[in-house]
Structure formats: structure tokens, C-alpha cells
Amino acid sequence: MFELIIIILLLAVFISLYRFLKAPTLSDRVVAFDTISIMIVSLLVILSLYYQRSFYLDIALVFGLIGFLTTTVFGRYIEKGI
């Protein structure tokens, strides 16, 4: 059951990664990166259920925080430059 769920999630991650590599503009790349980072947060939650260890949840929280910070900084860079 968990193997099927992880395979479907990794398929979604790889389709988004294709979008990230083949994007027409910079905004598309940032959107694809944001999508991948939220998918990785869910993947860490599923891995914590799979291995029955709870420290993956802390890693998921910090990863979500850093992904949000990266997206915000890139949005500011697109809008105003450095």
C-alpha cells in the first residue's frame, strides 16, 4: 500500500521536475519549485508513517519553512531585482 502511494507521489514529483527543467519563463520555474517542495513535505510525512519514526515530521516542518522562504525571496527578485 505504502509502496504504491510513494510511487504515485514520485511520479508527480518527476513530472513537476520535467516542468522545472523545461519551463518557458522564470515564474514557471518558481511555481514548479514551490509545487515540488510541498510534495516533498508530504513525502516526508508518508515516510514517517512508513518507518514509524517521528523525527521526519520535524524535518518536514523545517523543509516547508525553507521552501516558503525561497519562494518569497524569488518573488521579490522577479518583482524588483536584487
Cβ 27 to other proteins shortest distance, Å: 4
Among 1, 3, 21, 82, binds other proteins (CB under 8 A): 1
State the DSSP string of 32-75: HHHHHHHHHHHHHHHHHHHHT-SHHHHHHHHHHHHHHHHHHHHH
State in Å, rounded, how far the first CA of the chain is from the last one.
47
Q: Under the rule (CB under 8 A), what is the footprint of other proteins?
A: 1, 4-5, 8-9, 11-13, 15-16, 18-19, 25, 27-28, 30-32, 34-35, 38-39, 41-42, 45-46, 48-49, 54, 57-58, 60-61, 64-65, 68, 71-72, 74-76, 78-79
